[in-house]
A and B are shown apart, each in its own frame.
Chain A
């Protein structure tokens, strides 16, 4: 029963959801501080190439993910300088990260002889749990069949929820995102908080990108994220800036991403080009539905100061 179409597709949806989840969690934290960073796609690409390179050289999954995360942070800090310090339009700044990230990652990925394009994956990803658990009928492959990163993603959701809602730092971060002037008056450094939150967002996207290259795809290709970063941007809106809802949303998008695989197993013949459209059509519809929902102002509110640069003078 463990190789039935349903179970295999749920298990693959969970794996496909993981990079989206890390990127979306990071973006939620960035957004909650009032900074909008549309550059996830670029940060994921940087994380993907650096993580793959690090994995190729060290063979360590941990080092690959951390290196990938730092790759994302490096771009995120550029965004922080532009958006927080120089107070330029955050939409434009985020878009510039996408182009820089795809250009720089492609440049790094094709530099050197031989380049990373032909490099083999240095990281071996193994399941966390013993085969006794993995082979349990039904629940085994779904609950116990994954590598440590998948479970870390769930822990990260719990951690982010706790930090945002239950700790003074989380409160300070949200205050900066809701009313920076009041937070400033209360002695919180708006600039520092926003830099940290933006860097965390970059780390999440970078880890997601690295997981994509070393654990899912297993090779480096230029532009390999192919829109996953943008799905994460849409997911943040769908989740109403809440980590828990992002977890379920990521699973849904992961399922859509793996739909082709599922239908293939079920021997349903749908042109692959239409399958590739599915997550993007879903994200398009979701953004419209969330916007059109009459209750959204109360239930799914964006941080009040999102994308608004803060300057003491403008108070």
Chain B
């Protein structure tokens, strides 16, 4: 008789599993991507080695990747803090636009001679506040009427997108440069630009990493963070314990919106140097959702995962040069999302191939009917 495949729920997933499974899922996603590339008539090895060269091989490639990782860390953190509480903020994209609109407003409105630290601080604050308020448009109905935040945050993305487009393409707003014939944003003064560290990499990366550390501390080392995680794991228990689910729902969504909006600030100030809708609509908010899922909502995990996804994204233009469809970048992101989501099964459950008849599981729990039934290999 052959052995049986048994599915055994894990009581607790150790760090090896929690890090190992998403890592394995990344490998599987890259293999699936290779198969699709091969079907499309490309050489997967050539594609992947080009991607590596374009994103991680050499200092200038690395700075380009880190420049792109900067907003991704922030939108990844935005998604992670909300997902931690099982509040699904899908509105990072729109909150980012609001952050970009508010931050660029302050940068353009304050006197150009404002000291740089003051100027950047005001822009950051204005952007984060705008993002938090935009998120509250979904958070308040969620807290008071249990209105599905997935749908409300998502709908607000489209509203924010049209608003930003209108400011530059549809009107002669304060943000639009009146002198240029092609619609584009007014350029920010020098003191409103995040200084470059090296090449395209700017001070924003430091802000993003500090934000990751602060968020990790907040979630793991404070009682507020403990309550957030408890609400996510068992909302009913949290309610009985009097944890104030309603106020925390609003606080978490506002914080999430503020983090996503900081990505908008970082992009207008450090990269586009003005409100440029086309450059700002590059899926940074949505990619943050993938990042949070791959990092399993761990703020410190968000940083390396963001760098990895930035590496994939930044190499897209180089792929075009060797005749490979640049859309493979989005496809790979989707495959990663998919395999990591599937991998969650292997985090929650242990698969055991027992060689003979069913014996007691290693962890002492007796085998159940479901484990024995079905799947016989």
Residues of A in contact with B (beta carbons under 8 Å apart): 38, 78, 81-82, 86-89, 91-93, 95-97, 99-104, 106-107, 109-111, 222, 227, 230, 233-234, 237, 271-274, 276-277, 280-281, 283-284, 287-288, 290-292, 311-313
**B158 at the A/B interface (Cβ < 8 Å)?**
yes
Rounded to whole angstroms, the CA-CA distance of A81 and B339 in the bound complex is 12
Q: Please, could you name 11 A-B residue pairs with CB atoms under 8 Å apart, sorted by A?
A: A38-B150, A81-B342, A82-B338, A95-B337, A110-B325, A273-B163, A277-B162, A280-B158, A283-B155, A292-B147, A312-B369
**CB distance A280 to B155 under 8 Å?**
yes
Residue of A nearest to B41 (CB): A111
Closest-CB distance, B195 to chain A (whole angstroms)? 34
**CB distance B290 to A277 under 8 Å?**
no
**CB distance A292 to B145 under 8 Å?**
yes
Q: What B residues does A274 contact at CB under 8 A?
A: 162, 166
Q: What B residues does A93 contact at CB under 8 A?
A: 341
Q: What B residues does A111 contact at CB under 8 A?
A: 40, 325
Closest-CB distance, B89 to chain A (whole angstroms)? 11
Given A107-B330, A111-B40, A271-B171, do A288 and B162 touch, yes or no (CB 8 Å)?
no
**B38 at the A/B interface (Cβ < 8 Å)?**
no
**CB distance B370 to A103 under 8 Å?**
no
Q: What A residues does B147 contact at CB under 8 A?
A: 287-288, 290-292
**CB distance A103 to B155 under 8 Å?**
no
Given A100-B337, A277-B163, do A284 and B171 touch, yes or no (CB 8 Å)?
no
Rounded to whole angstroms, the CA-CA distance of A292 and B36 in the bound complex is 46
Rounded to whole angstroms, the CA-CA distance of A122 and B369 in the bound complex is 54
**B310 at the A/B interface (Cβ < 8 Å)?**
no
**B327 at the A/B interface (Cβ < 8 Å)?**
yes
Closest-CB distance, A275 to chain B (whole angstroms)? 9
**CB distance A95 to B90 under 8 Å?**
yes
Contacting residue for A222 out of B150, B327, B328, B334, CB 8 A = B327
Given A274-B162, A280-B159, do A104 and B170 touch, yes or no (CB 8 Å)?
no
Q: What B residues does A87 contact at CB under 8 A?
A: 345, 348
Residues of B in contact with A (beta carbons under 8 Å apart): 9, 36, 40, 88, 90, 137, 141, 144-148, 150-152, 154-156, 158-159, 162-163, 165-166, 169-171, 286, 289-290, 293, 325-335, 337-338, 341-342, 344-345, 348, 368-370
Q: What B residues does A280 contact at CB under 8 A?
A: 155-156, 158-159
Q: Tell me if A's interface is mostly helix, strand, loop or mixed.
A: helix
Rounded to whole angstroms, the CA-CA distance of A291 and B170 in the bound complex is 34
Closest-CB distance, B162 to chain A (whole angstroms)? 4
**CB distance B158 to A103 under 8 Å?**
no
Rounded to whole angstroms, the CA-CA distance of A91 and B338 in the bound complex is 12
**CB distance A292 to B141 under 8 Å?**
yes
Most buried by A among B145, B293, B327, B333: B327
Given A276-B162, A312-B369, do A91 and B150 touch, yes or no (CB 8 Å)?
yes
Rounded to whole angstroms, the CA-CA distance of A78 and B165 in the bound complex is 35
Per CB-CB distance, the 4 closest pairs between chain A and chain B, nearest first, are A100-B334, A273-B166, A103-B330, A103-B331
Q: What B residues does A277 contact at CB under 8 A?
A: 158-159, 162-163
Rounded to whole angstroms, the CA-CA distance of A312 and B369 in the bound complex is 9
Q: What A residues does B40 contact at CB under 8 A?
A: 107, 111
Contacting residue for A99 out of B144, B166, B333, B348, CB 8 A = B333
Rounded to whole angstroms, the CA-CA distance of A97 and B329 in the bound complex is 16
Q: What A residues does B325 contact at CB under 8 A?
A: 107, 110-111
**CB distance A283 to B151 under 8 Å?**
yes
Most buried by A among B169, B332, B341: B341
Rounded to whole angstroms, the CA-CA distance of A273 and B151 in the bound complex is 21
Q: What B residues does A110 contact at CB under 8 A?
A: 325-327
Rounded to whole angstroms, the CA-CA distance of A273 and B166 in the bound complex is 6
Rounded to whole angstroms, the CA-CA distance of A233 and B152 in the bound complex is 11
Q: What B residues does A106 contact at CB under 8 A?
A: 327, 330-331
**CB distance A92 to B293 under 8 Å?**
yes
Contacts A88-B344, A103-B332, A287-B155 supplied; 6 other A-B pairs, CB < 8 Å: A38-B150, A81-B342, A82-B341, A102-B334, A107-B36, A287-B148
Closest-CB distance, B292 to chain A (whole angstroms)? 10
Closest-CB distance, B198 to chain A (whole angstroms)? 31
Residue of A nearest to B338 (CB): A96
Contacting residue for A281 out of B159, B289, B348, CB 8 A = B159
Given A312-B369, A313-B368, A313-B370, do A273 and B341 touch, yes or no (CB 8 Å)?
no
Rounded to whole angstroms, the CA-CA distance of A89 and B232 in the bound complex is 13
Q: What A residues does B330 contact at CB under 8 A?
A: 99, 102-103, 106-107
Rounded to whole angstroms, the CA-CA distance of A42 and B338 in the bound complex is 13
Rounded to whole angstroms, the CA-CA distance of A87 and B162 in the bound complex is 37
**CB distance A107 to B370 under 8 Å?**
no
